[in-house]
């Protein structure tokens, strides 16, 4: 059962890695909002972390990389760095977790080292959860605030893109992966401690048995005197 739990965590971790790469590559963090006077549905504007894409009706979508990072709003600049950190963290977490699973040969038969490696991998997944959900939520908050800002014209307003929702789902997957790995670590650590206690009890019992076997038996002698 524990091996299946670890395999499930690895599968979820791979899904999380795919999700972080997807949200970093897709340019659909902010999309055009068709509200009010902005009902020209044959024009679409997508903005992502690395490029902006524009499409008109009967024209293929054209994408252009941002000329400078400094022209981006602060939330997109922060999202760039944090999403790159998330991809690196999830990649390292997958490698560390693969070394810590029970069927791995990385640590040999040293279960204590495997348990510590598994716990470290789970902790990295939890950190990657934060580095993923923070930029996604930051950009979403900025889009929502601007959407309800009465000072902005309707053509300037945008809505949440697909990358935001994929990022939230990916964050949930990374959180579940880290929790599953820590649960597996807790079960393995408790089982190992139980085995150590049992071995210690058996060793003490053997020592007591050996001591009792080598202790000489002393008997009491009685001298009888016969009086005539």
d(CA 118, CA 6) in angstroms, rounded, equals 9
Describe the chain by its helix, strand, coil percentages, rounded to 5: 65, 10, 25
Q: Which domains can be identified in the chain, with CATH numbers?
A: 2-203 (1.20.140.150)
Q: Are 139 and 23 in contact (CB under 8 A)?
A: no
Q: How many CA atoms lie less than 13 Å away from 151 in the CB half-sphere?
A: 2
**Per-residue pLDDT tens for 152-182?**
776 777 889 999 999 999 999 999 999 999 9
Sorted by sequence, the CB contacts under 8 Å of residue 2 that are 6+ apart come out as: 102, 184, 187, 188
C-alpha triplet 40, 45, 48: angle, nearest 5°: 160
**Per-residue pLDDT tens for 32-73?**
876 655 455 557 788 889 998 887 776 777 888 888 777 788
96 burial (CB, 10 Å; 0-12 / 13-18 / 19+) is: buried
d(CA 122, CA 129) in angstroms, rounded, equals 11
152-174 exposure pattern, b = at least 16 Cβ within 10 A, e = fewer: eeebebbebbebbebbbebbbbb
pLDDT at 223: 46
């Amino acid at each position: 059962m524990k091996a299946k739990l670890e395999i499930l965590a690895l599968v979820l971790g791979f899904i999380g890695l795919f999700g972080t790469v997807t949200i970093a590559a897709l340019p659909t963090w902010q999309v055009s909002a068709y509200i009010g006077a902005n009902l020209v549905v044959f024009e679409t504007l997508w903005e992502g972390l690395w490029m902006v894409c524009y499409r008109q009706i009967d024209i293929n979508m054209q994408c252009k990389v941002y000329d400078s990072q400094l022209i981006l709003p602060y939330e997109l600049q922060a999202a760039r760095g944090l999403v790159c950190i998330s991809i690196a963290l999830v990649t390292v977490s997958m490698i560390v977790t693969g070394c810590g699973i029970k069927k791995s040969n990385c640590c040999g038969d040293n279960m204590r080292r495997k348990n510590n490696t598994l716990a470290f991998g789970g902790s990295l997944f939890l950190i990657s959860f934060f580095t993923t959900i923070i930029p996604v939520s930051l950009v979403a908050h900025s889009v929502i605030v601007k959407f309800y800002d009465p000072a902005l014209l309707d053509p300037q307003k945008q809505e949440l893109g697909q990358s935001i929702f994929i990022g939230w789902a990916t964050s949930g997957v990374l959180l579940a992966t880290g929790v599953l790995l820590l649960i597996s670590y807790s079960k393995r650590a408790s089982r190992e401690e139980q085995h150590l206690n049992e071995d210690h009890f058996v060793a003490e019992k053997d020592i007591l048995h050996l001591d009792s076997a080598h202790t000489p038996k002393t008997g009491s002698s009685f001298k009888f005197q016969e009086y005539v």
